[in-house]
Structure 1
């Protein structure tokens, strides 16, 4: 797993996020799995709830589960840039999952304009 120092970031406007990230976030929110998957590299890895999902098939299965497991709303609360390939997007989720509210970091690593890694964590 890539080790990256996420403490060295600068806040940016959400409009300054790269297209791959904004397109992915909108597609995820609207449950457009094809568009969401299209933003990933073929060898991408997503880590959510400390579980890794490798490649398009596993990521698609994770996305499909994640949009049906709970009912929730998502609000983008901040965006940060570490460098040209590393972005941290903070979201507040509110819904019927345990605890009801969660502030989560969506930490994106880009490669050639696509998402190579996404780590979702508190």
Structure 2
């Protein structure tokens, strides 16, 4: 898989994120797994905490674990666009997970209006 150079991304207003991403983030925050899953391409991958989850079944399991394991709030604090397929949504999380707070990049690759890849990293 081609490495993405996120340092080239340009800051945008969070309201400029594509509808697919804003719908996903809203569903993710509301813990609405069915809506979130519907926004992924059938061959999508999610990488979080160094683990990659492939396809809807593995992504559903990851979403279920992440919503059941910890209680947290998220605030979208920044956004950036690399080009029409790559967006970065920065979130501040606060909750009962180790460390209690974190700032995470939700780095999206879109294809045909769906999420093809999501990488969550500091």
Match of 2:15 in 1: 15
SS at match of 1:7: helix
Does residue 108 in structure 1 map to residue 108 in structure 2?
yes
Tell me the distance in 2 between the aligned counterparts of 1:49 and 1:2: 20
Structure 1 residue 2: deviation in Å? 3.3
Aligned residues: 122
Structure 1 residue 13: deviation in Å? 1.0
Match of 1:119 in 2: 119
Tell me the distance in 2 between the aligned counterparts of 1:8 and 1:66: 30
Tell me the distance in 2 between the aligned counterparts of 1:96 and 1:53: 24
Tell me the distance in 1 between the aligned counterparts of 2:2 and 2:41: 16
Alpha-carbon RMSD? 0.7
Structure 2 unaligned blocks of 5 or more: none
Structure 1 residue 102: deviation in Å? 0.4
Q: How does 1:1-122 map to 2 (within 5 A)?
A: 1-122=1-122
Structure 1 unaligned blocks of 5 or more: none
Structure 1 residue 15: deviation in Å? 1.0
Structure 1 residue 18: deviation in Å? 0.6
1:75-110 residue CA offsets vs partner (Å, 9 max, x unmatched): 100000000000000000001111111000000000
Runs of 4 or more, structure 1, over 4 Å off, are: none
Q: What TM-score does the superposition give when structure 1 sets the normalisation length?
A: 0.98
